[in-house]
Amino acid sequence: MEEKNELRKKILALRNSMDKDEAEEKSSIIMEKLTQTEEYNQSRVVFVYMDFNNEVKTMPLIERMLSEKKKVVIPYTDTVNTVIIPSELKSTDDDLVLSKFGYLEPVLEKIRPVEPEEFDLVVVPGVVFDRKLNRIGFGKGYYDRILAKLKKSAKALAVAYDFQVLDEVPSEDYDVKMDMIITEKNIYTN
């Protein structure tokens, strides 16, 4: 998928060149909006990514969810089988280590597995999106695979900076669409 790769490269360059303060500021606007959605407020079990580089920051949201007694689930990335193993995060003091990609994840021996069928909400990362709710990630299909296992009532909410949302991006049958994309400027839904 050459076109997807070109788009990834272009948008990642933009995201990596953002300064830290701008990323922090926009992240907090995005997460504020997310916590005002019905999807968030009605959720009990939330699977959320751990950010790295200049991805939209998720730690403030995670702290808030723990204090609100939601069940917080984060990814352990099994690179041998190319699957995410979802693991419950009980507290911000849980033992986490840097994954090979650069974000924090549970240590293998301390995974507390949670079935994807339990999730009410998934906070989805991504590189490029479009207004029709298509998503392009890093290109391994990790999120497509786990999102395919959600129960029907579960929602996939992507968070991104507005420059990551284009008019149209290519998508394949296995690409799972988002229910909503929240940026600092807009909320995209259908």
Ligand X SMILES: Nc1ncnc2c1ncn2[C@@H]1O[C@H](COP(=O)(O)OP(=O)(O)OP(=O)(O)O)[C@@H](O)[C@H]1O
Q: State whether residue 153 is helix, strand or coil.
A: coil
The answer to whether residues 126 and 8 touch, using CB atoms and an 8 Å cutoff, is no
Select the binding partner of residue 148 from Mg ion, ligand X, none (C-beta < 5 to 8 A, by kind).
ligand X
Q: Does 175 bind ligand X (CB under 6 A)?
A: yes
**Sheet harboring 165-166: ordered strands across?**
135-136, 128-130, 165-166
Instruction: Please say whether the dihedral angle defined by the alpha carbons of residues 97, 68, 133 and 119, taken in this order, is positive or negative.
Output: positive
- 39 contacts Mg ion (rule: CB under 5 A): no
- Per-residue interface string for the shown chain with Mg ion, residues 148-187, x marking contact by CB under 5 A: ---------------------------x------------
Of 68, 88, 144, 162, which one interacts with Mg ion (CB under 5 A)? 144
Cα-to-chain-centroid distance, residue 45: 14
CA distance 168 to 147: 21
- The residue length of the chain stands at 190
Closest residue by beta carbon to Mg ion? 175
Binding-residue total with Mg ion (CB under 5 A): 2
CB of 12 to Mg ion, least distance (A): 15
Task: Tell whether residue 94 is a contact of Mg ion (CB under 5 A).
Answer: no
Cα–Cα distance measured from residue 69 to residue 132, given in angstroms and rounded to the nearest whole number: 33
For the window 3-22, what string marks contact with ligand X as x by the rule CB under 6 A?
-x------------------
Selected range binding ligand X among 27-35, 42-50, 93-101, 131-139, rule: CB under 6 A: 131-139
C-alpha of 84 from chain center: 12
Residues that bind ligand X (CB under 6 A): 1, 4, 136-145, 148, 174-175
